[in-house]
Amino acid sequence: MNAPLGKTLTLWLLIGIALIVLSAPTIVVLGASFTSGNIITFPPDGLSLKWYAKLAGARALWEAFLRSVYVATVCTIISIPAGTVAGVALAKYGVRFEKTIQTYLLLPFTIPLIGSGIGLMLVFGNAGVLGSLWPVGLACCVINLPFMIWAVTASASALDPDLELAAANCGAPPLQTFFHVTLPAVMPGVISGSLLMFILALNEFLVSLLLVDARIVTLPVHIYNSIRSIITPDLAAISVVFIICAAGAVALLDRLVGLDVFLKSK
Amino acid sequence: MHDATTDAGAREAQGSQPVAVSVLDVSMVYDGVHAVRDASFDLPRGRFLTILGPSGSGKTTLLRLIAGFQKPTKGDILINGTSVNAVPPHKRSIGMVFQRLALFPHMTAAENVAFPLKMRRTDARKIPERVDRYLDLVKLGGFGQRRIHELSGGQQQRVAIARALVFEPDLLLLDEPLAALDRKLREEMQLEFRRIQRELGVTTINVTHDQREALVVSDEIIVMDHGVIQQKAEPSRTYRSPRNAFVASFIGVTNFIAGDARSLAGDTVVVGVGESEWTGVIGDKACPLNVGAPVRGAIRAEQIRIARDGRALEGAGSRHAGIVSDAIFEGERVVYEVRLPDLGDTLMRVFDHGPHDTIAVGDEVYLGWNPDDVLVFDDEAGHP
């Protein structure tokens, strides 16, 4: 409170720089999307909503966007049961080889995405499912599952171990205990984990790039393909829509479980 | 106040009731350490038993073995005459109030109380009526729709009691549920447990480290230390005739005088400390003392009288001069700590309920007591 003026100034300066660096890309994209010119520039060349109007008619963009939503949904649906069961088991039960399993589950983080992407491409290619969209969702689930497990584990570790004993004491067999007591108690972790999985899968680029073909591009891949030919401001506009989706998910998270819970869940 | 006749009456009543819980030679070993060693006792139906002991004495382990959360390493636990070693906890008819209550946070008070009924497949039409009846029993009528975090600590206690009793279990277990409450609420809830237990007549096992609680609520007390049952008796017997030095020290404010047994005559022991001697009676008649063995005499603070003038203590039997080393004002009484030079500088705690301002620290005083009140124990017994 009584810190010398110089210290306060330095602190605020650092905070200011950090805020600018962190938000600059978003501001630039946001600004560029409102341009009235025909190329992406920042600051925008006049103000207009014409690129948003054009978005409404750009079928290829919307289809790519819906495909991304589909991939994110598949990923989330798979990761909820898998991540919840794994997270609860690791946190609460004396699983054998617990450390080994934990390391194994974290492996996807240590392998470069390009490596796991090529691996998944080979696996799906052999299985003959390359060219459908759902394997992309599965792939997103595989590479991001540790986030889900972490979120659930954090909730489950905070759980009073007596709660499950109390349920048994009330006459609940193990399965009933899980559904009536354990699952509701770890629900904040499940919700924050699955929203995170959804956002990550929605944004996933590198692995999607390897797994999709020209007919089933997801939005990030579509944008990437487009900027290689011509950079038009509608890409900035769709990026803004994208950012709004992610922000919406975060707002939903805050409403459902509170951001503090999410931030604490590592 | 209990006396010998009511104790005998209690034993008679106990004899006429069938045994609800039998613990037979039960041991529990964790990593080679005995948490419970060879524990055995019977509890007749409808009785209120308290297992009393310091932390780490094995009392909670014993309770959890009875609840079925763990399997004993050795021995057998019988409920209503049937061994339950192979019965998982959810199939035992046992209600339990946990130390941290373990109420389900995502349910209302009424949903918490209804949970055991749902799990035990009670007719769904009868559940609301039964839940209301038990919420009324714990004086929470009208609070059923509250969430757990909207209730005060005392109200949460009551929900936990209702949840443990609503399915009319054969046995109620209390795992130190009052430990976290402030003193006033704790004493109120002790009487509440007693009232509900008497009203329903449910066999109850309570675990606590609070000696006052044990004396107030129980029909019987088991004192445990280092995993071993030290004594099982009615509260008044536990207090008046502790079986060893540990029980004597754990319940009540007890003074110990050390020494060597010099001579034995009947129950009377003469003990020497250096040049001087003191007299007491054998504490545990089942455990004979040997002349020359190191012993400890236990005497309650309230059995010692204090006076500035030795003549005021004529007829006290034992009388010793000492110096007041501390005076602690506790409101209704003053506790004096008095050093007795002729008993090896033993520090004695004495209560004074009278006019308080006559004795000060540093004063020379006399302590007097009846030698029959000094219980002499073998120094080794009760010290595993």
Q: Which of A170, A173, A185 sits opposite B115 (nearest CB)?
A: A170
What Cα–Cα distance (Å) separates residue B143 from each residue in A102, B105, B125, B161?
Answer: 44, 15, 20, 14
If pLDDT is split at 50, 70 and 90, which confidence band does B16 have?
low
Q: Is A139 among the domain residues?
A: yes
Q: Is A152 among the domain residues?
A: yes
- Report pTM: 0.80
Residues 6+ apart with CB under 8 A from A195: A249, A250, A252, A253
**Nearest residue in chain A measured CA to CA from B113:** A170
Amino acid A154: pLDDT = 85
Residue written as tokens 């948003």?
A52
Contact A171 B90 (CB under 8 A): yes
Tally of structural domains, chain A: 1
Residue written as tokens 């799906």?
A124
Q: Which of A163, A170, A177 sits opposite B116 (nearest CB)?
A: A170
Considering only CB atoms, which chain B residues are within 8 Å of A169? 67, 89-90, 94-96, 164
CA of B55 vs chain A CAs: smallest distance (Å): 18
Q: Is A64 among the domain residues?
A: yes
Report pLDDT digits (tens) over A141-192.
Answer: 988 888 898 889 888 888 888 999 999 999 999 999 999 999 998 988 898 8
If pLDDT is split at 50, 70 and 90, which confidence band does A2 have?
low
CA of A167 vs chain B CAs: smallest distance (Å): 8
Q: Please, is B39 exposed, middle or buried when counting C-beta atoms within 10 Å of its C-beta (0-12, 13-18, 19+)?
A: buried
Amino acid B382: pLDDT = 47
Q: Which amino acid is at A264?
A: K
CA of A33 vs chain B CAs: smallest distance (Å): 45
Amino acid B371: pLDDT = 92
**Nearest residue in chain A measured CA to CA from B121:** A171
Q: Report the alpha-carbon distance of residue A193 to residue A145 in Å, rounded.
A: 9
Look at residue B240 and tell me whether its pLDDT is greater than 60.
Answer: yes
Considering only CB atoms, which chain B residues are within 8 Å of A162? 98-100, 102
Q: Please state, for a pLDDT cut of 70, what percent of chain B lies above it.
A: 94
Residue range A194-210: mean pLDDT, rounded: 89
Considering only CB atoms, which chain B residues are within 8 Å of A181? 104
Q: Which of A171, A177, A180 sits opposite B167 (nearest CB)?
A: A171
Considering only CB atoms, which chain A residues are within 8 Å of B88? 168, 173
Pair type for strands B268-273 and B94-97:
unpaired
B90 touches chain A (CB under 8 A): yes
CA of A174 vs chain B CAs: smallest distance (Å): 9
Q: Which of B98, B106, B163 sits opposite A185 (nearest CB)?
A: B106
User: Which residues are paired to B272 by β-bridges?
Assistant: B260, B277
- Residue A193 in contact with residue A151, Cβ under 8 Å? yes
Size of interface A-B (CB pairs under 8 A): 64
Flag the least confident range among A92-96, B320-324, B347-351.
Answer: A92-96
If pLDDT is split at 50, 70 and 90, which confidence band does B179 have?
confident
Contact A162 B167 (CB under 8 A): no
Residue written as tokens 């939005």?
A219
Considering only CB atoms, which chain A residues are within 8 Å of B104? 163, 166-167, 180-181, 184-185
Of B27, B51, B100, B37, the residue nearest B227 (C-alpha): B37
Contact A172 B119 (CB under 8 A): yes
Q: Which of A162, A171, A172 sits opposite B102 (nearest CB)?
A: A162
Of B232, B225, B174, B231, the residue nearest B54 (C-alpha): B225
If pLDDT is split at 50, 70 and 90, which confidence band does A95 have?
low
Q: Is A170 among the domain residues?
A: yes
Of A204, A194, A196, A184, the residue nearest A80 (C-alpha): A194
- Residue A262 in contact with residue A190, Cβ under 8 Å? no
List B residues 158-187 in contact with A (Cβ-Cβ < 8 A): 163-164, 167
If pLDDT is split at 50, 70 and 90, which confidence band does B3 have?
very low
Contact B104 A184 (CB under 8 A): yes
Mean pLDDT of chain B: 89
**Most A-contacting residue of B115, B121, B167 (CB-CB within 10 A), to test interface:** B115
Report pLDDT digits (tens) over B267-284.
Answer: 899 999 888 889 999 988
Report pLDDT digits (tens) over B80-126.
Answer: 999 999 999 999 999 999 999 999 988 999 999 999 999 998 889 99
**Most B-contacting residue of A155, A169, A180 (CB-CB within 10 A), to test interface:** A169
Three-class SS state of A133: coil
Flag the least confident range among A20-34, A91-105, A242-256, B178-192.
Answer: A91-105
Mean pLDDT of chain A: 85
Look at residue B285 and tell me whether its pLDDT is greater than 90.
Answer: no
What Cα–Cα distance (Å) separates residue B197 from each residue in A113, A201, B204, B236?
Answer: 64, 57, 7, 20
Amino acid B76: pLDDT = 95
Amino acid B11: pLDDT = 45
Contact A169 B96 (CB under 8 A): yes
Contact B90 A180 (CB under 8 A): no
Q: Report the alpha-carbon distance of residue B126 to residue B299 in Å, rounded.
A: 56
Residue range B126-134: mean pLDDT, rounded: 94
Q: Is A147 among the domain residues?
A: yes
Contact A162 B67 (CB under 8 A): no
- Residue B318 in contact with residue B371, Cβ under 8 Å? yes
CA of A172 vs chain B CAs: smallest distance (Å): 5
Residue range A44-68: mean pLDDT, rounded: 84
Look at residue B22 and tell me whether its pLDDT is greater than 50.
Answer: yes
CA of B185 vs chain A CAs: smallest distance (Å): 23
Residue range B130-143: mean pLDDT, rounded: 92
**Nearest residue in chain B measured CA to CA from A185:** B106
Q: Is A261 among the domain residues?
A: no
- Which residue did the predictor score with more confidence, B200 or A53? B200
Q: Please state, for a pLDDT cut of 70, what percent of chain A lies above it.
A: 94
Amino acid B5: pLDDT = 40
Element (H, E) at A142: helix A134-157
Considering only CB atoms, which chain A residues are within 8 Å of B116? 170-171
Amino acid B293: pLDDT = 87
CATH number, domain at A70?
A: 1.10.3720.10
Report pLDDT digits (tens) over A228-253.
Answer: 877 788 888 888 888 888 888 888 87
Q: Which domain holds residue A210?
A: 59-229
Contact B89 A168 (CB under 8 A): yes
**Six-digit token string for B142:** 């009208």
- Which residue did the predictor score with more confidence, A144 or B9? A144
Report pLDDT digits (tens) over B198-224.
Answer: 999 999 999 999 999 999 999 999 999
Q: Is A196 among the domain residues?
A: yes
**Nearest residue in chain B measured CA to CA from A159:** B102
Contact A168 B90 (CB under 8 A): yes
Predicted ipTM?
Answer: 0.81
Three-class SS state of B113: helix
Amino acid A93: pLDDT = 72
If pLDDT is split at 50, 70 and 90, which confidence band does A71 have?
very high
Q: Which of B102, B120, B163 sits opposite A160 (nearest CB)?
A: B102
Considering only CB atoms, which chain A residues are within 8 Å of B95? 169
Q: Is A216 among the domain residues?
A: yes
